[in-house]
Amino acid sequence: MLKALIFDMDGVLVDSMPFHAAAWKKAFLDMGMEIRDQDIYEIEGSNPRNGLPLLIRKALKEPDAYDFETITAIYRQEFKRIFELKAFDGMKECLEMLKARFLLSVVSGSDRLIVNGILDQLFPGIFDMVVTGDDVLNSKPHPDPFLKAVELLKVGKNECVVVENAVLGVEAAKRADIYCIGIPTYVEPSKLDRADLIVGDHKKLMEHLLNLE
């Protein structure tokens, strides 16, 4: 019996990844490095501690040569400056209907300050539990974020469904042995081929979720 739905935030609930990408690119440029939007989308879901070494290597540099705290501070300042809050159309109403039937959770690789700020403004009182990048040592693609969510929700893995748009998020859900719905918001559908089900857009996602039993 399905008891809980676990959502990624960026790209599933909120159309925010272009702002994350712009902020990371600014931070890297200030440090003398260049990265592409696609580089960032492909490591979406990881926290800065785990994701920064991957991005620095994509810029053909050595991670040990850079101060992660400096890069992250520039990113946070730029993200705060440029970010515009925007939930995907119909998502709040969909979640309000789902809340009457399921436990709802968010598992995000972003900082708790950012995650709570967005959820409090766009989806107040909707989620029963939130796991952020600050709450686990190993971020996605490790299964730890989803396993922590299952533990806090006090449900079985077979009683949950994960909704993810990120390559690393889908991998993390499957490594946690949880059914996963993939939505290719910013990547090609083929990148999410480990998902149990791939839906084409947010309208189809919400229709599918509202028909779950």
**pLDDT tens, position by position, 177-187:** 999 999 999 99
- C-beta of residue 20 within 8 angstroms of C-beta of residue 39: no
Catalytic residue among 8, 10, 135, 144: 8
Centre a 10 Å sphere on the Cβ of residue 40 and count the other Cβ atoms it contains: 23
Confidence check: pLDDT of 51 > 90: no
Q: Could you say which DSSP state residue 164 is in?
A: E
In the chain, which segments carry CATH 3.40.50.1000? 4-15+86-210
Does 37 participate in catalysis according to the annotation? no
Dihedral sign computed on CA atoms, order 180, 186, 199, 16: positive
What local confidence, expressed as pLDDT, does residue 9 receive? Answer: 97
Confidence check: pLDDT of 45 > 90: no
What local confidence, expressed as pLDDT, does residue 121 receive? Answer: 96
Nearest alpha carbon to residue 45 among 32, 35, 54: 54
Q: What is the mean pLDDT of residues 46-68?
A: 89
Lookup: tokens for 169: 């998020």
Cα–Cα distance, 59 to 176 (Å, whole number): 30
- Helix 91-99 to helix 202-210 angle (10° resolution) is 10
What local confidence, expressed as pLDDT, does residue 172 receive? Answer: 97
Cα–Cα distance, 69 to 117 (Å, whole number): 21
What local confidence, expressed as pLDDT, does residue 156 receive? Answer: 98
Residue 32 Ramachandran class (φ > 0 left, ψ -120 to 50 alpha, else beta): left
**Considering the chain, what percentage of its residues have pLDDT values greater than 70?**
100
In the chain, which segments carry CATH 1.10.150.240? 17-82
Confidence check: pLDDT of 111 > 90: no
Q: Can you give the pTM of this predicted structure? A: 0.90
Task: Write out the DSSP string of 5-24.
Answer: EEE-SBTTTB--HHHHHHHH
Higher pLDDT, 80 or 97: 97
Lookup: tokens for 173: 């859900």
CATH architecture group of domain 4-15+86-210 = 3-Layer(aba) Sandwich (3.40)
Cα–Cα distance, 89 to 102 (Å, whole number): 21
> What are the pLDDT digits (tens) for 132-177?
989 998 999 999 999 999 999 999 999 999 999 999 999 999 999 9
Q: Could you say which DSSP state residue 212 is in?
A: -
Cα–Cα distance, 152 to 165 (Å, whole number): 23
Confidence check: pLDDT of 49 > 90: no
Confidence check: pLDDT of 209 > 90: yes
Mean pLDDT of all residues belonging to the chain: 95
CATH architecture group of domain 17-82 = Orthogonal Bundle (1.10)
What local confidence, expressed as pLDDT, does residue 47 receive? Answer: 80
What local confidence, expressed as pLDDT, does residue 60 receive? Answer: 87
| 141 cis-preceded (ω within 30 degrees of 0) | yes
> What are the pLDDT digits (tens) for 180-207?
999 999 999 999 999 999 999 999 999 9
- Helix 68-82 to helix 48-58 angle (10° resolution) is 100
CA gyration radius, the chain: 16
What local confidence, expressed as pLDDT, does residue 2 receive? Answer: 98
